Amino acid sequence: MGIKDCFYCLALGCLTTAIALGADGAGSSTPQPGSKPGWNAQAAARYLDQREIWWQAWKNSQRDHETVCVSCHTVLPYALARPTLRRVLGEKSASEQEQAMIAGVIKRVSLWDEVKPFYDDAKYGPGKAEGSRTSEAVLNAVVLASHDAETGHLTEPTRTAFRTVWALQHKTGESAGGWTWLNFHNSPWEADESPYWGASLVALAVGIAPDHMLKDPEIKENLDLLRGYLQREYAAQPMVNKITLLWASGKWPELLSKEDRGALIDSFFSLQKEDGGWSLSTLNKYERHDKTPLETKSDGFATGLISLALEAAGVPQTQPQLAKAIHWLEANQDPEQGRWVAYSVNRQQEPTADGKLFMSDAATGYTVLALSKAH
């Protein structure tokens, strides 16, 4: 067994042990098992676990060194939401599929110089290798920072993941402070506007990471560059990008001025539908590749993510518009599947088959986080 293999095994052992202890470490209280009022947490956990199992086995997600792609739509929301569901349900340890997901991320972080990009230029076109490399680095850091937040201390794999992120950050030029991002012209995560979303994710990861990363003098220059980029490019961003920035600002308040935060919250409320939900189709100027009309009714992705961001920004859950949104989420969980439905803004497709549930995967993950905060 080589040095990197040892690093990987030790890190995984520490991390999975940390997960089993819960958010506040040993001695923390956990909720009684069962579902929260108005929604079925067990059904949501079952759906997300089944989707992660499918993703880990799906041939299109397989990558080198027996790893899988860390996807924006399925793996990231799963990684953020599943620990919360564990606490809600009073589970004693992470599920097998959650542990497998974490192990895969740690493996790619520890073998960073050996693993290949998720997408290469030869097969997918110029810039895909660089974009997928940077996007993966950011997603790795978010996933591992979220899990380290459970115990309150950064593990070595997470520190390594962040070092990679900072090394890939643009230091000069128009995009200084940001990162190159994977672009397949698929919104909202792999499109022209997505680099700002990626930078907002880094801000979120720094905010949720333990050990006071926001005050770390060794990365002050990186943080200053990141904050400068997010503030400099803010006005030009579509609403869909500003949601994640608002979410991140709950942990890093300096990202948004008081005036911008208030105006942004008001703008979200102005787009809220009569039923209390939001539609992703209203959060940017989308046009489907197949020229079919966008789905305009309220969906779980937009409603769940906006509700989560509002809660993180300090909007009281009794505030009428937010309370109405939470009610919509509670009333619109699929009683059989346990998921919340959302729709593609890239092409028309029924969100039923395994390969067409990606928006619902994200919707369910972010809605779980929003509803867990709401009760």
pLDDT at 37: 57
pLDDT at 38: 86
Distance CA 369, CA 308 (A): 7
> Which pTM does this prediction carry?
0.89
Residue 43 has pLDDT above 80, yes or no: yes
pLDDT, tens digit, for every residue of 185-199? 999 999 999 999 999
63 band by pLDDT with thresholds 50, 70 and 90: very high
Please give the residue that has the higher pLDDT: either 97 or 7: 97
Residue 86 has pLDDT above 80, yes or no: yes
Q: What per-residue string of b and e applies to 67-106 under the rule 16 or more CB within 10 Å gives b? A: bbbbbbbbbbbbbbbbbbbbbbbebeebbebbbebbbbbb
Percent of the chain with pLDDT over 70: 90
Distance CA 223, CA 226 (A): 5
> Region 293-312: what's the mean pLDDT?
98
pLDDT at 375: 65
186 - beta bridge partners? 190
pLDDT at 211: 93
Please give the residue that has the higher pLDDT: either 291 or 37: 291
pLDDT at 30: 32
Q: How many domains does the chain have?
A: 1
pLDDT, tens digit, for every residue of 139-151? 999 999 999 998 8
Domain that holds residue 365: 3-27+35-374
pLDDT at 352: 84
pLDDT at 166: 98
Residue 311 has pLDDT above 90, yes or no: yes
pLDDT at 306: 98
CATH code of the domain containing 173? 1.50.10.20
> Region 225-240: what's the mean pLDDT?
98
Mean pLDDT of the chain: 90
Cα-Cα-Cα-Cα dihedral of 178, 76, 87, 157, to 10°? -70
Residue 31 has pLDDT above 60, yes or no: no
Contacts 24+ apart (CB under 8 A), 231-239: 231/255, 232/177, 233/178, 233/196, 234/260, 237/193, 237/196, 238/193, 238/283, 238/284, 238/285, 239/267, 239/268, 239/271, 239/282, 239/283, 239/284
Residue 26 has pLDDT above 50, yes or no: no
> Region 131-144: what's the mean pLDDT?
98
pLDDT, tens digit, for every residue of 151-187? 899 999 999 999 999 999 999 999 999 999 999 999 9
Residue 132 has pLDDT above 50, yes or no: yes
Distance CA 159, CA 189 (A): 25
